[in-house]
């Protein structure tokens, strides 16, 4: 084994700070939150806008959009969504809107929902929804500051 040369020591010394400050690359979160392989856990997003609240969708009536599978209760709702997905998809990719307003990314549940100005917002729980509703306009503004950069 040969002794290290000055050049090798110098190069090692220059590389050390880069190694100490680097961090592993992490995969970004998906744009659309899914549960059980489908957006909103398979709940029909168009049904919220029809006034029916969370209605289970069926895989037989599905639409692929933004890397997620969306399920619908019937073919008409699937067609409505396919014609204008951004009008019917939940805001913030279906992640918890309240958590996002606090700078965090959290899953949501279909039962904790709010329609506001023709937009669907989902929350992680009914309690998170209560907190969301206390100052919804400010929470929306804060959440928009983090979205979509929070995905990584």
pLDDT digits (tens, 9 = 90+) for 40-95: 999 999 999 999 999 999 999 999 999 999 999 999 999 999 999 999 999 999 99
3-state secondary structure the chain: CCCCCHHHHHHHHHHHHHHHHCCCCCCCCCCCCEECCEEHHHECHHHHHCCCCCCECEEEEEEEECCEEEEECCHHHHHHHHHCHHHHCCHHHHCCHHHHHCCCCCCCEEEEEEEECCEEEEECCHHHHHHHHHCHHHHHHHHHHHCCHHHC
Same domain? 144 vs 95: yes
Question: Is residue 12 a part of any domain in this protein?
Answer: no
CA angle 65, 70, 71 (to 5 degrees): 150
Domain boundary among 72, 88, 104: 88
Query: What's the pLDDT at 5?
Result: 52
pTM of the entire predicted model: 0.82
Q: Is 143 within 8 Å of 19 (Cβ atoms)? A: no
Assess whether 95 and 136 both reside in one domain. yes
- Same domain? For 72 and 120 the reply is no
Q: Is residue 112 included in any domain, yes or no?
A: yes
Do 77 and 94 fall into the same domain?
Answer: no
Do 142 and 114 lie in one domain? The reply is yes
Q: Of 61, 88, 115, which closes a domain? A: 88
Do both 42 and 83 map to the same domain?
yes
Question: For residue range 11-45, what is the model confidence (pLDDT) as tens digits?
Answer: 344 333 333 332 333 468 999 999 999 999 999 99
Domain coverage including residue 145: 90-152
pLDDT tens-digit series, residues 87-146:
999 999 999 999 999 999 999 999 999 999 999 999 999 999 999 999 999 999 999 999
- The encoded tokens of residue 128 equal 């998170």
Domain count, the chain: 2
- 124 and 145 co-located in one domain: yes
The answer as to whether 2 is a domain residue is no
Q: Is residue 11 part of a domain?
A: no
């Amino acid at each position: 084994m040969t002794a290290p040369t000055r050049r090798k020591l110098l190069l090692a010394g220059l590389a050390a700070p880069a190694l100490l400050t680097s961090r592993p690359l992490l995969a970004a979160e998906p744009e659309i939150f899914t549960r059980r392989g489908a957006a909103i856990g398979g709940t029909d997003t168009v049904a919220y806008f029809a006034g029916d609240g969370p209605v289970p969708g069926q895989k037989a009536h599905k639409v692929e959009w933004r890397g997620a599978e969306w399920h619908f209760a019937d073919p008409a709702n699937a067609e409505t969504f396919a014609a204008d997905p951004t009008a019917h998809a939940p805001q913030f990719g279906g992640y918890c809107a309240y958590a996002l307003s606090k700078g965090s990314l959290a899953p949501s549940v279909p039962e904790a929902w709010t329609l506001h100005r023709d937009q669907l917002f989902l929350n992680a729980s009914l309690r998170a929804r209560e907190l969301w509703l206390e100052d919804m306009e400010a929470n929306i503004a804060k959440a928009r500051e983090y979205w979509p950069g929070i995905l990584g």
